[in-house]
Amino acid sequence: MKVFISGNIAPVGLKQLEENNISVTQWREDRQITAEELIEACKDEDALISVGPNKINAAFLEACSHLKVIALHSVGYDQVDVAAAKRLNIPIGNTPGVLSGATADTAFLLMLAVSRKAFFSHQKIIKGEWKNYEPTQELGIELNGKTLGVFGLGKIGLEMAKKCMGAYKMPVIYHNRSRNEEAEAEIGAKYVSFEELIAQSDVLSVHTALTPETKGKFTLEVFEQMKPSSIFINTARGGIHNETDLIKALDRKLIWGAGLDVTNPEPMDKSNPLLFMENAAVLPHIGSATEETRDAMAKIIVQNIVAGLKGEKLPYEVRG
Ligand code: DGY
């Protein structure tokens, strides 16, 4: 059996594929594979491990309907036309659960970095602008007892909530499409409307999937309704906030700051104003990038591939 991998995965995954007698071809170039190249690369393969934002849309799926399984190197599957995959009988696997802790750590890191203007202050040293001990400059804000608002209280949002409660005794409010009663019972999170969420949060952390409903949800109008002292964090998908509006909101000090691990587009252009603003902190989509998590993701991917190639039900299958 043969699998094409459109990027790199942790070595433990490659080893396990070999142990299962699955031969591997990998995309080795230092750029994202194009849609045409991906179709061409999958022509003689039995399975695909999709690394990065490859569009697994109807055009790709129809051109590659011979694939027995597609395993995503992500929990998110907004890049997949799940209905088309179902219609063509191609099972799609993802990597839920194992990256919740690492991704929540990234949200927490960004929250702290924004609250203390850490990235901006670091840049000042690099630019030779650290001249003196200055007690009135680059002052941050503290997080103790502030309200955490979670937009999308699932596995990752819950981890973020627990970290904020443990570190800073932050009360948690959240908004979801449907209530998460388990999380309410576990951590005492309070369900609120979207309007209440944006008005009451001191830190608003986005952990929802990118869907037609959440696409472009955070607009200037929304930022206008947030507290001027609030922090906006997005470690989910860049498409959930309107970037131009966010820049305006930060520029006009409608909110205190923003921390992003996801942008739109990715990669972000190196001249993007967000990279130079004192109240912004941006990371290059490293939410799940720890050795432990990437190993765990690679192992799940192999489980999905092995099951799919045998025609068995995937242990971690995207339901849509
Ligand atoms: C995920 O797993 O969805 C991460 O954001 C990587 O894409």
Assess whether pLDDT exceeds 90 at residue 116.
yes
CB half-sphere exposure, 15, CA atoms < 13 A: 5
Same domain for 211 and 150?
yes
Question: What is the model's pLDDT at position 319?
Answer: 87
Binned at pLDDT 50, 70 and 90, residue 212 comes out as very high
Same domain for 120 and 47?
no
Q: What tens digit of pLDDT does each residue of 193-207 get?
A: 999 999 999 999 999
Same domain for 172 and 111?
yes
The CATH number assigned to the domain holding 173 equals: 3.40.50.720
What is the average pLDDT score of the chain? 97
Q: What tens digit of pLDDT does each residue of 100-112 get?
A: 999 999 999 999 9
230 lines ligand 1 (CB under 6 A): no
Same domain for 112 and 245?
yes
Q: Which residues are catalytic?
A: 237, 266, 285
Q: Which atom of ligand 1 is nearest to the CA of 73?
A: 2
DSSP for 152-211, written as a single string: S-SHHHHHHHHHHHHHH---EEEE-SS--HHHHHHH--EE--HHHHHHH-SEEEE-PPP-
Q: What tens digit of pLDDT does each residue of 257-285 get?
A: 999 999 999 999 999 999 999 999 999 99
Q: Which atom of ligand 1 is nearest to the CA of 236?
A: 5
Assess whether pLDDT exceeds 90 at residue 320.
no
Assess whether pLDDT exceeds 90 at residue 235.
yes
**Range of 90's domain?**
2-98+290-309
Binned at pLDDT 50, 70 and 90, residue 303 comes out as very high
Query: How close is the Cα of 262 to the center of ligand 1, in Å?
Result: 10
Binned at pLDDT 50, 70 and 90, residue 167 comes out as very high
